[in-house]
Amino acid sequence: MRLSRYLLPVSRETPAGAEIVSHQLMLRAGLIRQTAAGIYAWLPLGLRVLDRIASIVRREQDRAGALEMLMPTIQPADLWRQSGRYDAYGPEMLRIGDRHGREMLYGPTNEEMVTAIFRDCVRSYRDLPRILYHIQWKFRDEVRPRFGVMRGREFLMKDAYSFDMDMDGGRASYDAMFTAYLKTFAALGLRAVPVRAPSGPIGGDLSHEFHILADTGESEIFYDAALDDIDLRDAAAPERLRTLYAMEAEEHAKVANCPVPPDRLARRRGIEVGHIFFFGTKYSAAMGLEVQAADGGMVTPLMGSYGIGVSRLAGAIIEASHDEAGIIWPESVAPFDLGLVNLRPDDPACAEACAGLEDRLEAQGRTVLHDDREARGGEKFATMDLIGLPWVVTVGPRGLATGTVELKRRSTGERHELSMESLLARFGGVASGTAA
């Protein structure tokens, strides 16, 4: 992709009203633009990040056995009256009416709708267990939207819902999602702490929030420092993480006798990026969902709900991974694998070398943002640092004279001079992944 033909409105200045680093950098790096309070347009670079995050979330849901669907954003109010939540939910729900006077709403969540769909489609125990999920835009009319995509009114969310015949099956579904979440955040280049959480307005008696550790996090959490030593690649990691202590400060303050010795109790800030609940028959009973059991009797399935803030994750990753120069994207979610800087686009040799590198890298499955603009080298380097691509290749007349280019790693700043063939070999064979 040629930067001269791309929409990338970068800025050196910190935008007024942007209070936290992720909001500042997402605006400065041309990822998003605000269109109304708490509502953002995702520009081309930002959309690439959003799509890559969503693809990792989707992959781990599929691996856990969940089935993807897509529910509408507009829901009839009658569904929410069946569950008893329509009047109880509060002013965060955007209530609307259609031209026929029917009461509708812009969905803040989907427990009612997925329960109604399952009720209409399933009759027998043979159709359970099932986990259904989708990735969908939602709206909650926050009284004070702030912090950019971290607390916006419109947001992209993955929400999944499990249906099981009994408590053992329900816990198995919950555990499968718990493990899938740990794998998801690890694949995003993040370390997440599962925090025991109150059930909140959705209800339930088994609940975990997943927090990304970041100095700028909105929540203070206390946890057993043994969590830091757990290898997430270990098959036993999910069970160990489930049993070790971790709580938000407000809940920790209610604990009379903390089970963690003082010398092992860690205190950090975190950003909530996921929340899972098990709430039994809260919605299935209220909405008349029953299936026939093996003995011929009727059973009300048990349910769970599992959410990940996909758009929120984009901001959380930046909060956890940035420096004074800009964003530092993990390779798994970076909008492009490499940046290619042409120091002299008016030099035919440089232009030809960069065009050739771009073509060959893309033929190897790599995505490349080629800065072919007529601009100073310092401006081009500052742009690459700001947008945070993992690797930057610089081509200039001096290097071409000796047959070399410069490769810079964004996360460490390390630089290497190497031949074009060595560069191609280094990034060959792995599409949109890590380089050696």
State the DSSP code for 64.
Answer: T
Q: Which of 393, 370, 376 is nearest to 8 (CA)?
A: 370
**C-alpha distance across the termini of the chain, in Å:** 23
The DSSP bridge partners found for residue 159 are: 134, 307
Q: Which residues of 377-404 are buried (b: 16+ CB within 10 A; e: fewer)?
A: eeebbbbbbbbbbbbbbbbbeebbeeeb
Count CB atoms within 10 A of the CB of residue 412. Answer: 8
Instruction: Identify the structural domains of the chain with CATH numbers, from first to last.
Output: 3-323 (3.30.930.10), 336-426 (3.40.50.800)
Q: What is the mean pLDDT of residues 92-107?
A: 96
Estimate to the nearest angstrom the gap between the alpha carbon of 52 and the chain centroid.
9
Amino acid 435: pLDDT: 60
Amino acid 25: pLDDT: 97
Is pLDDT at 203 greater than 60 in this prediction?
A: no
Model confidence pLDDT, tens digit, residues 33-73: 999 999 999 999 999 999 999 999 999 999 999 999 999 99
CA atoms within 13 A on the CB side of 326: 23
SS3 275: strand
Preceding omega of 9 cis (within 30 degrees of 0):
no
Q: Which of 128, 122, 111, 205 is nearest to 166 (CA)?
A: 128
Q: What is the mean pLDDT of residues 360-377?
A: 95
Least confident of 36-40, 77-81, 253-257: 253-257
Q: What is the mean pLDDT of residues 385-408?
A: 96
Record the tokens describing residue 136, joined without a space: 């969908």
CA distance 326 to 25: 7
How far are the Cα atoms of 43, 165, 229, 319 from residue 310, in angstroms, in the given order?
A: 16, 30, 27, 15
Confidence of residue 376 (pLDDT cuts 50, 70, 90): very high
Amino acid 351: pLDDT: 96
Pairing of strands 338-342, 368-371: parallel
Is pLDDT at 204 greater than 60 in this prediction?
A: no
Amino acid 205: pLDDT: 55
Confidence of residue 31 (pLDDT cuts 50, 70, 90): very high
Is pLDDT at 284 greater than 70 in this prediction?
A: yes
